[in-house]
Amino acid sequence: MERTFIAIKPDGVQRGLISEIVSRFERKGFKLVGIKIIVPPKDFAQKHYHDLKDRPFFNGLCNFLSSGPVLAMVWEGEGVIRYGRKLIGATDPQNSEPGSIRADLAVVVGRNIIHGSDGPETAKDEIKLWFKAEELVNYTSNAEKWIYGTN
């Protein structure tokens, strides 16, 4: 089943938004298969955001990501990569659809509280960067047959 990497950035953690954000993914019907809280070192943040290394905000972004605790998660479910991005909303909260996490809970692009992988390749790379294989749990939840209609 498809998996994606989702992280609550230091602003989301410090603002006490963990349970709010986790519950949106959980209530949708996605399954949490990995979770940990860490302060990523700066060089780790640079690896995570390597695609953006030529952007003017790259240094500030990496400093920010490594400035405090980040809640790193792997969520599993049908279409979770694409739909996870929908739940999160557009990069700039000023343009995010109302009802999305960034629209409802954030105001400026530099403090948009959450990260989500933007495609299958990125998801694979990011999960590998943030988690060891043994930190991810394979299990069946009782709700799955009701979520997917397989009962």
Q: Which residues in this chain contact ligand GTP in the complex, by CB under 6 A?
A: 52, 57, 61, 91, 109-110, 112, 115-116, 118
Integer distance in angstroms from the first to the last C-alpha of the chain? 18
Q: Respond yes or no: is residue 48 known to be catalytic.
A: no
Shortest Cβ distance from residue 72 to ligand GTP (Å)? 13
CB closer to ligand GTP out of 1 and 52? 52
Binding residues for ATP: 9, 57, 85, 91, 102, 112
CB-count exposure of residue 98 (10 Å: 0-12, 13-18, 19+) = exposed
Shortest CB 73 distance to ligand GTP, Å: 13
Q: Footprint of Mg ion on residues 101-140 (CB under 5 A)?
A: 118
Nearer Cβ to Mg ion, position 118 or 125?
118
CB of 108 to ligand GTP, least distance (A): 8
Selection from ligand GTP, Mg ion, none that 31 binds (CB < 5 to 8 A by kind) is none
Look at phi and psi of residue 104 and say left if phi exceeds 0, alpha if psi is from -120 to 50, else beta: alpha
Which is closer to ligand GTP, CB of 99 or CB of 143?
A: 99
Q: Give catalytic residue positions.
A: 115
Q: Which residues bind Mg ion (CB under 5 A)?
A: 118
